[in-house]
């Protein structure tokens, strides 16, 4: 019933197209909603999205994790063909191949998951070729309150009241401090949640002067983790922070 309802959403307005040449490969296994194994043994991490964790070795699957995995298996069946398009980086630090995935008819798998509310956008520079169209697909799902966007964890919450449990969160707070330290730009929300941006990534953020962020109320998004006993969130791309209205 869940997948049938998602199929009814359709793909009107699909906008994500391959950013480069396509490589045809065969799917052999689905780890979760954003990671595949190919028949040649390669493990592929889909670019531009993050789906709920299956938590195979640590607890129960996160909400809608199984549905995201099932939807990818439906879009890209085992034994079937996937078309892969590279971005800027061929592999991640875990040795996984990085690629955008398309069905034989040209449909973007990442865009489909985002429109149906089974994934959130996760842009990891320098792999930014499809950032705009993926963000547009996520905004549509948010407006329509599909999938993940009706769950409590995906609603905006005050920075001072959100547990640093490693889950994906949206937190709102006022920037109470902003500084450059070594290779990082550090923004603190409500004197509690620290946002960490590597200097190499900060060039894409505006305003460029960290001090100009002080006093602004913002909404940041990402996985909120505990670092040295304090809640911290790593930001890679400007899409992860917006000035609150």
Catalytic positions are 45, 53, 96
Give the up-direction half-sphere exposure of residue 236: CA atoms within 13 A in the CB hemisphere: 12
Q: Which residues contact 36 (CB under 8 A, 6 or more apart)?
A: 27, 29, 30, 43, 44, 46, 72, 76, 82, 101
d(Cα 4, Cα 105) in Å, to the nearest integer? 20
Q: Which residues of 198-226 are buried (b: 16+ CB within 10 A; e: fewer)?
A: eeebbeebeeeebeebeebebbbbbbbee
Length, in residues, of the chain: 245
Reduced to 3 states (helix: H, G, I; strand: E, B; else coil), residue 183 is: coil
- Give pairs for 208-212: CB < 8 Å, separation 24+: 210/178, 210/179, 210/180, 210/185, 210/186, 211/178, 212/178
DSSP one-letter string for 14-29 = -----SS-EEEEEEEE
């Amino acid at each position: 019933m869940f997948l049938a309802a998602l199929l009814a959403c359709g793909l009107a307005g699909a906008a994500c197209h391959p950013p480069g040449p396509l490589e045809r490969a065969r799917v052999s296994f689905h780890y979760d909603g954003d990671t595949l194994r190919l028949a040649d043994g390669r493990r592929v991490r889909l670019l531009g999205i993050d789906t709920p964790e299956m938590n195979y070795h640590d607890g129960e699957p996160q909400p809608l994790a199984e549905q995201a995995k099932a939807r990818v298996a439906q879009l890209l069946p085992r034994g079937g063909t996937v078309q892969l398009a590279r971005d800027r980086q061929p592999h991640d630090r875990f040795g996984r191949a990085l690629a955008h995935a398309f069905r034989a008819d040209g449909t973007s798998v990442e865009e489909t998951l985002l429109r149906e509310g089974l994934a959130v956008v996760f842009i990891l520079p320098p792999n930014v070729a499809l950032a705009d169209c993926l963000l547009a697909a996520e905004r549509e799902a948010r407006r329509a309150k599909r999938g993940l966007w009706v769950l409590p964890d995906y609603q905006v919450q005050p920075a001072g009241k959100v547990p640093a449990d490693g889950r994906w969160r949206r937190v709102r707070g006022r920037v109470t401090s902003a500084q450059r330290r070594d290779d990082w730009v550090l923004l603190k929300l409500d004197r509690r949640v620290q946002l960490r941006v590597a200097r190499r990534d900060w060039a894409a953020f505006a305003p460029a002067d960290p001090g100009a962020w002080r006093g602004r109320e913002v909404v940041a998004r990402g996985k909120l983790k505990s670092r040295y006993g304090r809640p911290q969130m790593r930001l890679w791309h400007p899409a992860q922070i917006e000035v609150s209205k």
